Amino acid sequence: MGRLDGKVAVITGASRGIGKGIAMALGEQGATVYVTGRTVSEGTYYLPGTVGETAAEVDQRGGKGVAVQCDHGDDEQVAALFDRVRRDEGRLDILVNNAFTLSEDLLEPKPFWEKPLSNLEMWDVGVRSNYVAAWHAAQIMVPQKSGLIVAISGFAAVTYTYGVIFGTSKSAVDRMSRDMAIELEPHNVASVVLWQGLTLTEKAKHNLAAMGDKMTKSITSMTGSTVEHPGRVIAAMASDPQIMKRSGGEFITAELAQEYGVTDVDGSVIPSARATRGSPIWKPISEVDYRGK
């Protein structure tokens, strides 16, 4: 019996990388996991991974994986995803907003005015997409009076990282998640943000090998985690009966892992990058007078 038996999760952007790792970790705890992403056929993207492969991994871990091709920049596809979850499962317990479009020139050390306006795609799938997915998820979670919405973010919210659009996107996600927490609080639905440090995804390994010299040094010097580490933390949060006390907060994944006694897949404890990368801004709304009363 897993801690998440009977629970239903949607993980956006899970063909590979952090999304895939989260899906596998939740599957290992018995969850039914809807795996979304654009890649359905191997070879159509320069990195390995498809939604079908991730769903199969979820099955192998003991959960139930459901692969759904979904472009999170297309509102109709997103609506169809959540309609399917509502129809097939009748509930939704966890939404992880992980999908994020990274521009091809992300690591190029150019100022914003020398980069194309097309880089605003990071706002479309990374900020707007979070709102749309949460909007649909809340319509399932609020009536059932339970649920957890997790946004995957990072230290870019307080430390210059990869340029104006990237940092602004992460900052927006964090504030969005906090304000969602305030409106979701009366309905017992939690909204939290996880700040990831260096995560050894397929893309990160590729970038480190090909252009590590262009990457932010305070990131590359960090101890990297596997893609499953944040999923293990989310599994702990999803089974925490006091999760509402954390709603509205930003949390460094490594620190939250230590609080829950979560290690990486090899048993290692991932250190926090707070000292070199910065500290979260938003505390849980249970700890502050957020309405200014």
> What confidence tens digit (pLDDT) does each residue in 28-59 have?
999 999 999 987 777 666 666 699 999 999 99
Distance (Å, whole) CA 72 – CA 54: 17
Selection from 233, 176, 199 nearest residue 16 by Cα: 199
pLDDT for res 104 = 85
Q: Give me the pLDDT at residue 38, please.
A: 86
Q: Please tell me the predicted confidence (pLDDT) of residue 198.
A: 82
Q: Which domains are delineated in the chain? A: 8-287 (3.40.50.720)
Residue 224 has a pLDDT of 81
Q: What is the pLDDT of residue 158?
A: 93
The token pair at 40 is 């359905």
Closest CA to 174 of 160, 193, 155: 193
Low-confidence ranges of the chain (pLDDT < 70): 1, 43-49, 200-223, 290-293
Identity of the amino acid at 17: G
Write out pLDDT tens, residues 127-142.
999 999 999 999 999 9
Give the per-residue pLDDT at 218: 47
> What whole-number distance in Å separates Cα of residue 274 and Cα of residue 276?
6
- SS3 string of 11-74? ECCCCCHHHHHHHHHHHHCCCEEEEEECCCCCCCCCCCCCHHHHHHHHHHHCCEEEEEECCCCC
